[in-house]
Structures are given as C-alpha cells and as structure tokens.
Chain A
Amino acid sequence: MLSQAENDLLTRVTGDAPMGRMMRRYWFPVVLSDEVAERDGTPIRVRLLGEDLVAFRDTDGRVGVIEGRCPHRLASLALGRNEECGLRCIYHGWKFDVDGHCVDMPTEPEGYGFRDRVGVRSYPTVEAGGMVWTCLAPEGEVPPFPRYDWMELPATHCTVVKIGSHTNYLQATEGAIDSAHSWFLHRGGNVSRDWATRTAVSMDLSPRLETEDTAYGFRYAAIRKPNQNPDTEKYVRVTLYVMPSTAFIPRSLDRNTEVHVQIFVPVDDEHTMFYGVFFSQNGEPVRDMQATLRARRGIELDAEWYRLANAENAWLQDRAAMKTGESWCGIEGFPNQDIACQESMGPIVDRTAEHLGTSDVAIIRMRRRMLDAVERFEAGQPLIGQDPAIPYARVRSEQKIIGIGEPWQQVGAYAGEFAHR
C-alpha cells in the first residue's frame, strides 16, 4: 500500500521525474555484447529511462552509446550506416563517432565550423559480464562502475538471458525480492534444479523474514526450520538488493545449479528489460539458459526481446497442462511466469489498492529504501551504493544451514556487511 504520490514518485522514471533523474546516476546494461559483436555491424536501438539511444561497435572495435537521433532533422541513427569509425545518418550523410563528435557533414560547406559545433550526446560504456553498460549521468557525475566477480568469468561460464516486459521497473524488481511467490508460481517445473534441493532441506512455508540495510542497498533473510535438526539448526536464505534495481538470488546449495542475478533496466515508465545473469559455481560451463528458460529471440521472443506470449493471447497459459499436473501455473520458464503475473497487474500497478501482508517484508523495505534514496538525491546527498569503498567484487548471496543461536547476518556477508555491525 502506497499513496498515489508515493507510487508516482517511485515508478516514474522519464522526463524530469525525480526517480529517473536519480537513476541516471547509476550504471545499467543496455545491450548484450553479442548484439554488437560485429565491427561496423548493425546499430541497435536502445531505450533507457525514456531516452532513445543507439549502440554500435565501430571499425576499431570500440562500442558507443549515443543519442538516438541525428541532430540535423532528427532521423534515427539506428537506421545509419556503421562505417569507417562512425555512424552515418542515411538521410543526409552526417556522421558521428562513438564519442558523439560529428566527423562528417557532407551537405554543408567546409570551413565555417558547423561540424565542430554540433554533435550528439555520447555516454560512457563498459563491457562486462557479456553486456554493454552505460550511465546517463551528467559529465563529471558518473559513479564508479560496480565490477562484480562474475564479470571476470569466460562466456562459457556466464550467460545472460534478456527479456522485455510491458511493466514498470518497480513491478518487475519487486518480483525478484518477493520470496514467497517462488513456492507457488514457480512450483515444480523442470528448470529450477534448486527446487528439489530446497525442499529436501526445508518444507517450512512460513519463514521468519528479516531485513538489514547495507551500503549497496539492503539484504533480507528467509529463516526456516530445516527438515533435519530443527531444534538446533536453522536454514537461512539471504537475498541481496543492490541499488537501484538488481537482485542477487540466494546461490543454490547444489553447486551444479547456476548462480542467478536479476537486473531490471527501466526502459521507460511502462517497459522494463530484464537481464538475467547465470554463472557457474562448479567450474563447469553453464547450460543454454535461453533454451532452458524458453527465452529465445525469434522463438519465444520477438526481435525487440518481448515475449510473443502476452496479454493479447493470455500469455499462452496451458490450462490442459495445469489440469494434468504437468505444470502448476501453465506457463513455461520462470521469468515468463513472473512476467505474465506482473504484466497482468497493468503497466503501473495501482498500489493504493493492494493489500500487503507481513510476509511482503522485502517489498516494504525496498520501497522505503528507494523513497529514502530519492529524497537523499533531491537533498544533494551521496547516493546509496556509490561509495567507492564498496567491494562489489565480493557482493554475493547465499543460503546456508547454521546453528539456531547464530546470527543470520553472518550468511552471505562477504562485502563487509557483518563486520560493520
């Protein structure tokens, strides 16, 4: 439950909205490296926080993320020719390099400097974890890049699943930190190898839930009675929320299951791009997660990464499979299950009408943390998660069985969380 004003403040990210202005100070992935793998290859249309951008790799292999429109007549540069270290607008031939400089203006006479006085805004880029990241902060305000340990893994051991959804970023992000739903929506199915491990450890459906603020956001624990030794031990699953919209799902007790990180990129007020990172924790290559999760472009997804199963076809929910018990919710692939529920709520859910319960602890804390964050931003204070001292390479989620008297805060505390208490 939020007031309409709170809901607007939290969800609106385009134009001059405070949340959007704050989010421009964070790094987001905008394309997969594979999408711009080819030098002088096809430029990719990108939309981030309501800004139309274009991403491309130039002749020298440099990746650029620049404003999406030619400043001349505002034609899309995504239609442009990617050639000889720049993107040339096909309308009148103006050409821009990855830094946004206009390097050719064939329709104007040389020598009066027009070319040097016009350009497009370019944004910093980092290629990491199989993605190209950018930050829309004003010059001089770009924060340090959060370099996680999984970004150092080879592509065989870390893969990314990309899916668009017709929902606001907050709706999507709330799903990632809403532990209770996984026991229902994602029940059964053949993709979650963690499921069998978890239920073998505990069948406690009413965990005690606790949260703790951290320098990067917050984390929360679901504390359950284990099936074995419930009087002397407890089963703790710690999920991390990293500002402004990333969740680290507790890494499986089964080391053969990939570790999962969920990044929700606000495309605009009513669209989100999900980047699901999966990386190996047993030294073996990761599975083909796009196929496993039914998230293949051209098969389950359209050219823009949005699901072909959507509201217009009732998300292709398989009622027959639900009846036979083959599927609990009738939708294959856990991100697809989440997206169907979240899209069914409408692009921006009316949070004045919802009825949260006490189990919605992480959603409650996340909203407060985000509203506090935007207040801090408006007051000119340092942003949460941007202290250069935060050791992002050691940020990791965890689940573990510990002694009943031990503090849960010691679980998944590799980035100094517990030491700071």
Chain B
Amino acid sequence: MAELARLLDDVRPLIVDARQQGERPRFLLLDREAYDAVAACKRVDRERGMPMMVLGMEIVQADQPIPQPRVF
C-alpha cells in the first residue's frame, strides 16, 4: 500500500548524496512498476503537459528491470 510513500523516502537520500558529490541530477530512473505507480498518481500533471516528477527529478522508465531507482 505504501508504495509511493516508500519510494520517496528511498529516493530522497539518492538525490541528496548525488548533490553532495557535486552532481546535479535531473532524472530519476524507475522500473516499470514504480513508473506506472507515479504515472497513475500524476494524471493531472500529464493532462497539463507537465513532466512527471518525483522530488524535482523527472522520471524515466528503465528498459530493463533495475534493482533500485537511480538518479542521473
């Protein structure tokens, strides 16, 4: 049930760590299941033509299964 709540809590440190290493991440790579969960939630943003974002990162769907989200 707590899929998006957990996703945010798991992804936030990835972004913070990347920034602390001097990177400027803009994208979040998600597996299909997570991507679909965000997309379902972001229906209004999609209808407005806005990018789908999680914590300011634009989400991208991975072609292959990935063990955990990645920022880049």
Chain A contact residues, CB within 8 Å of chain B? 1-6, 9, 208, 352-353, 355-358, 361, 364-365, 367-368, 371-372, 375
Contact = CB atoms under 8 A, between A and B. Distances in A.
Nearest to B2: A371
B2 A372 contact: yes
A358 B55 contact: yes
B5 A6 contact: yes
B4 A1 contact: yes
A355 B4 contact: no
Chain B interface SS verdict (over half): helix
Contacts of A356: 8, 55
Contacts, number: 62
A358 B12 contact: yes
B2 A375 contact: yes
B66 interface: no
A365 B6 CA distance: 8
Given A1-B8, A352-B42, 10 more contacts: A2-B4, A2-B41, A3-B4, A6-B4, A9-B1, A208-B16, A353-B44, A353-B45, A364-B8, A365-B9
Closest 7 pairs between A and B when the two form their complex, measured CB to CB: A371-B2, A368-B9, A368-B5, A367-B5, A352-B41, A364-B8, A3-B41
Which of B2, B6, B8 has the most chain A CB within a 10 Å cutoff? Answer: B2
Contacts of B55: 356-358
Interface string B22-65: 00000000000000011011111100000001111000000000
A27 B53 CA distance: 38
B68 to A, nearest CB: 16
A123 B54 CA distance: 44
Contact of A6 (B2, B12, B38): B2
A408 to B, nearest CB: 15
23 contacts: A1-B4, A1-B41, A2-B4, A3-B3, A3-B40, A3-B41, A5-B1, A6-B1, A6-B2, A6-B4, A6-B5, A9-B1, A352-B43, A352-B44, A356-B8, A358-B16, A361-B12, A364-B9, A367-B2, A367-B8, A368-B5, A371-B6, A372-B2
Contacts of A355: 53, 56
A208 B20 CA distance: 10
A358 B5 contact: no
Interface of B: 1-6, 8-9, 12, 15-16, 37-38, 40-45, 53-56
A1 B54 contact: yes
Chain A interface SS verdict (over half): helix
A2 B56 contact: no
B13 to A, nearest CB: 9
B2 A368 contact: yes
A2 B45 CA distance: 14
Contacts of A372: 2
Contacts of A364: 5, 8-9, 12
Contacts of A368: 2, 5-6, 8-9
Nearest to A4: B41
Contacts of A367: 2, 5, 8-9
B2 to A, nearest CB: 4
Nearest to A367: B5
A202 to B, nearest CB: 19
Nearest to B56: A357
Contacts of B9: 364-365, 367-368
Contacts of B43: 352
Contacts of A365: 9
Contacts of B45: 353
A1 B34 CA distance: 13
A3 B37 contact: yes
A375 B5 CA distance: 13
Contacts of B16: 208, 358
A372 B5 CA distance: 10
A356 B9 CA distance: 11
Which of A208, A355, A358, A367 has the most chain B CB within a 10 Å cutoff? Answer: A358
A368 B2 CA distance: 7
A323 to B, nearest CB: 32
B56 A371 contact: no
Nearest to A378: B1
